[in-house]
Structure formats: C-alpha cells, structure tokens
Structure 1
C-alpha cells in the first residue's frame, strides 16, 4: 500500500493541504485513492465551519498529481510542477461533504497528455455513491 508519507513525497501539497491518505491501486492510466480528510475540523478549505462539495474538484486535481508523481517515480524521475488550468463538465451531487461519516474514494484516469499538459477524468465517491465528477486539465511549467 502507498500511504500518506509516500504521497507527501510525490506532490507539492504538504501538511493538511495534502488531501489524500492512501493509494488503493494504480497503473499507467488510472489511480484510486482514499481519505478521511474531509472530516477534519481544521481542513484548510473549510469556510464558515463547512467543507463544500466544490472542493471535491481539488480532491480530483490532487488525485491527478499523485498519479503523475507515481508515474514519474516509476520512470526514475519526478513529476514537473503543474498548474490546474481548466475544469470541464463538473457535476456536483450534493452541497457539502464535511458531514459524511465514512472515507472518500477518488478515481482519476488520464485521457490525453503531451509534454506540456495532461487531461484527466475524475470522480469522488462516498460509500459507492458518486459525489462529484468531471474533467481537469493541467499545464506543466517549462523546463528550466
């Protein structure tokens, strides 16, 4: 199993801003993760004591980052820094997530990639029910 300390070594998101706790499975095309971070009272994305479903887009983007980090590590390198530049066809199926009792599971699948960008589809689920889904695009910083 790939745990939180491994995830922290792969992504720029650190401390409480690293939203995923463990990788359940992954291959070259997709990843599946799990977390309980949405229940943390000190979650960095909370506002007015609540964590809204729109923040599931960040969970999706971080699933992409973890996947990219794992793929780069498997190839003997590190993932380049990226910037989330687009969200498309996002569907949120509830209003808030901080009151959900069990862990969240995330899935991301690489759809297209070039040396400069990647596009993924993502889904975040709770107890088998889809909470959010959509597509996200990331642009990479040019090599220095």
Structure 2
C-alpha cells in the first residue's frame, strides 16, 4: 500500500506532545515496511550544539516511524511503548547532515507486546544510520 499521510495524522499516532513529533509525512507503506520524511527546521527538540543532531538521534526517528506503521496496519493510535533495545547500530558520521531526512523501517517481528524493526535513516549527505530497534508495549494496569 502506498499513500502519503501528513503531520497531523502522525501526531495522532504518537503518545508524545506535538513538539516532539519528528516526522513530517508518510511517503509509502505496506504491511511489512514504512517510509517517512522527517521534519526539517531548527526547532527540533533533539538538536544540540548549534542545531545539529547526533547520529544516535536516528533511533528516535525510527521508533516514531514504527509507531506510525503500527497504526497504519490497524493498531491503536498513541499506544505507549518503550524502546526496549537497539542493536547493530551503525553510522557513517557522528552528526546528521542538515536538510531532508528519510527513515525506512522494515518489520522483522510483530507481536501483541513487542515489535522489532530494521531501520535506515538517510539525510542530505546519503545513508547516515542503520540498526535494529525493538519496542515493547507494557501491559496496562
């Protein structure tokens, strides 16, 4: 399936406040993957040292994309989850380049209480960060 979804849809998928939403649009998706464009601009809440982002921040981009993918595949919007693990994290450079960013996530495992995705973030300079993120969904009390 394809079809763009905008920022308001993405905000509704995330359990954070709107200021923490790092994604701008869903560019494509299927039951197995999602591709999102990240928001640009100097108001990024993760930015440090003159508005730059560290490569490790790609993990949060990926986690947000997985949340959006879960909703697109029929899950509950704004379902709270926690990043349970990050594995095989590789980056080309320690800081992300400015400009457009795109995050691609491929689901490896999907269960009621956890999901695992391989991800890659590309920025204006090309492939920047890749890895695997696991998100756990704690049982509600």
Q: Structure 1-normalised TM-score?
A: 0.85
Match of 1:34 in 2: 37
Structure 1 or 2: more helix by fraction? 1
Check if 1:18 corresponds to 2:21: yes
CA RMSD of aligned residues (A): 1.8
Match of 2:45 in 1: 44
Shift of residue 78, structure 1, vs aligned partner: 3.7
Check if 1:61 corresponds to 2:58: no
Shift of residue 9, structure 1, vs aligned partner: 1.1
- Structure 2 gaps of 5+ residues are none
Q: Distance in 2 between matches of 1:125 and 1:48?
A: 21
Shift of residue 130, structure 1, vs aligned partner: 1.1
Q: Distance in 1 between matches of 2:89 and 2:138?
A: 25
Structure 1 or 2: more strand by fraction? 2
Q: Distance in 1 between matches of 2:85 and 2:28?
A: 26
Among candidates 101, 120, 123, match of residue 123 of structure 1: 120
- Structure 1 gaps of 5+ residues are none
Q: Distance in 2 between matches of 1:33 and 1:55?
A: 15
Q: Report the CA distance shift for 1:7/1:27 in structure 2 as closer, same or farther (over 3 A).
A: same
The answer as to whether partners of 2:89 and 2:130 remain within 8 angstroms in 1 is yes
Shift of residue 7, structure 1, vs aligned partner: 0.7
Shift of residue 56, structure 1, vs aligned partner: 1.0
Aligned length: 137
Q: Secondary structure at the match of 1:21?
A: strand
The answer as to whether partners of 1:72 and 1:79 remain within 8 angstroms in 2 is no
Q: Distance in 2 between matches of 1:65 and 1:96?
A: 24
Shift of residue 57, structure 1, vs aligned partner: 1.2
Q: Distance in 2 between matches of 1:140 and 1:25?
A: 25
